[in-house]
Amino acid sequence: MVERNGGDGAAAPGRRSSLRLRVLFLVCLVAVPLSVERMLALVAERQEQVSALEEDVRNFARSAKLAQMEGISRSLTALDVLSRMADRLLEDPAACNRQLSRLADEVAGIQGAFIADAAGLVRCAHAPLALGVNIAERDYFRDAAATDGVVMTEMFVSRVSGRNSVFLLRAEHGPGRALLAVAGVVVDLQWLSRIAAGTAVELGVVVDLIGDNGTVLVRYPTMPEIVEHRFPDHPLTRAVAAEESGIVRVPGYDGKERIFAFEGFGHLPISIAVGIETAKAVGPIDSKVRSTALAYFIALACFLLLAWVAEERIVIAPIARLTRAVAAVGRGEADHVNDMGVAEFSPLVNAFNEMARRLSQRNNELRTMNGRLASLARTDGLTGLANRRTFDVQFSQDWVRARGEGVPLTLVMLDVDHFKAFNDTRGHLQGDEALRAVARMLSAAAAGTSNLVARYGGEEFVVLMSGADVGAGVAFAEDVRRLLAEIALEHPAAPRRRVTASFGVASVVPTAEGSPDALIAAADAALYEAKRAGRDRVIAHS
């Protein structure tokens, strides 16, 4: 080429242009494979994050299944005992009725129980209205009589209680497989709902307990238009019916697309599905991939443009200085990039300085936002009280501290009476305002003390009183009950025509052998005793 062009000065621009092309080619030779590798790495990273998210959802589903099985196993154990003793219990119906009443009152997870003879006549039951009812023509009676295993019914309206119910039944056979009796227990769906609420600890997670034909037995968060309704042709129902366990990305029963992991319960015709909203879960991952790819290509384009317009002898040195200055900013050794003395580099220097300024500002904003998010994670969004997670953490800490100091730990649990009827008559917005009013009263009553007031779930609240005995807990509960009576929130569907609450109080001096769950169970038992005693009262656990 030199020989052909000789010393012609007109060839100089061509040589300079050719050099730029070669530099650009060399840059592309390095940049393009790196770009491809980076994009593949981003795609792989996204897939890993999505897989990790799906595994988390699957673990949530397994945990939820174990929690529900723990609740259902109580019903199965009680049913097994009843079925084995059914013919002997029927020999003394009066004693049998008393025993089933105690069983329904004392065993969590069971609303009631009954025993029918071989003719299908209910001769022993927890509820007097059930006595004498003939269930021989019911499909579930025939199914139970035909098998030795447990039969679980679909959800149906009970002729005795008038409410949606689910039965577990088991038959007792004699010699020659002669039918002796059929025992049944009524599953407490509210208990299963509380278990579901306890397992949905992550923000945005929904839990569905699904029966035959897509009947939603339990859902958390609760939605009246979903719970106790059937969705036989829903994509989630079809997915659950097709396999014992798995993970799918389908719309939920509320119409929002979610990543669902589901688990079956073996011989029982129910499955549990745990889902997290797809947009909230995968959206940040996709946004990060897109922003990273865009930033990478913008930086690459800027670099190629600089390589095209700059000559090697006047570009390499400024680029080296610029690189060192930017690296110093990146390591935190400097807060800005000094002028390189090249007019063409001034926009790039300004851009880096602006980026450094914005990054510093963004970091400050992120620290502030993280503080706010941490506060939100500890607070119930509706009432402004501490949420369930905050209560659990504080409860564990206070239990350990009280055990070490040998001081009592008192728990006050309250539940707004007839709250579903309140929502039905006055609407959910007024229901939310009523819960906020109760929360304000609890906060006012606890003002100036170290007591922790938290929303336990739904219309239930708890007050944790460290160092206080049961008398202090009862006095606190009576103060709140009196304040609630004074403000007289209107409740057209309540017997007293105003909003009331039932209170359960329990206290214990923690020991190494004790369990925090026992204190919660004691307060819960006292609360339900207050409800059974007529509501709007305070009961202390004995």
pLDDT in tens, 393-409: 999 999 999 999 999 99
Instruction: Name the band, by pLDDT with cuts 50, 70 and 90, for residue 309.
Output: low
Q: Which residues pair with 263 in a beta bridge?
A: 245, 272
Phi, psi of 220, deg, nearest 5: -135, 130
Helix (H, G, I), strand (E, B) or coil at 160: coil
The pLDDT tens digits for 426-442 are 899 998 999 999 999 89
Closest listed residue to residue 170, CA positions, set 232, 252, 82, 90: 82
How far apart are alpha carbons 179 and 136 in whole angstroms?
12
The residues with which 205 forms a beta bridge, in sequence order, are: 276
Burial grade of 52 (CB within 10 A; 0-12, 13-18, 19 or more)? exposed
pLDDT, tens digit (0-9, with 9 covering 90-100), for 192-206: 777 777 766 565 788
Question: Which tokens sit at 231?
Answer: 């969705």
Instruction: Kindly report the average pLDDT of the chain as a whole number.
Output: 82
pTM above 0.75, yes or no: no
Residue 502 and residue 512 in contact, taking contact as beta carbons nearer than 8 Å: no
Quick check: 361 pLDDT over 80? Answer: no
pLDDT at position 341 is: 67
If you ran DSSP here, which 8-state letter would residue 230 be given? B
pLDDT score recorded for residue 415: 94
**pLDDT on residue 72:** 82
Burial 96-119 (b: 16+ CB within 10 A, else e): bbebbbebbeebebbbbbbbbbbe
Mean pLDDT for 335-348 is 70
Rounded to whole angstroms, what are the CA distances from 237 to 164, 248, 341? 20, 11, 68
Cβ proximity of 499 and 415 under 8 Å: no
Q: In this structure, are residues 499 and 434 in contact, taking their beta carbons and an 8 Å threshold? A: yes
8 A C-beta contact, residue 38 and residue 30? no
Q: Over 70: is that where the pLDDT of 20 sits?
A: no
Which residue numbers are catalytic? 459
**pLDDT value of residue 340:** 64
Residue 13 has a pLDDT of 44
pLDDT score recorded for residue 7? 44
Confidence (pLDDT) at 310: 58
Non-local (6+) Cβ contacts of 208 within 8 A are 216, 218, 219, 236, 252, 253, 272, 273, 274, 275
- Rounded to whole angstroms, the Cα distance separating 411 from 398 reads 11
Cis peptide before 510 (omega within 30 of 0): no
Residue 21 confidence (pLDDT):
59
Q: Residue 332 class from Cβ within 10 Å (0-12 exposed, 13-18 middle, 19+ buried)?
A: exposed
- Residue 436, both tokens: 């906020």
194-200 long-range contacts (CB < 8 A, ≥24 apart) are 194/457, 195/67, 195/68, 195/70, 195/71, 196/64, 196/67, 196/68, 196/220, 197/457, 197/458, 198/67, 198/388, 199/60, 199/63, 199/64, 199/67, 199/68, 199/274, 200/64, 200/274
Question: Out of 98-107, 321-330, 405-414, 439-448, which region has the weakest mean confidence (pLDDT)?
Answer: 321-330
Supply 320's token pair: 């080296």
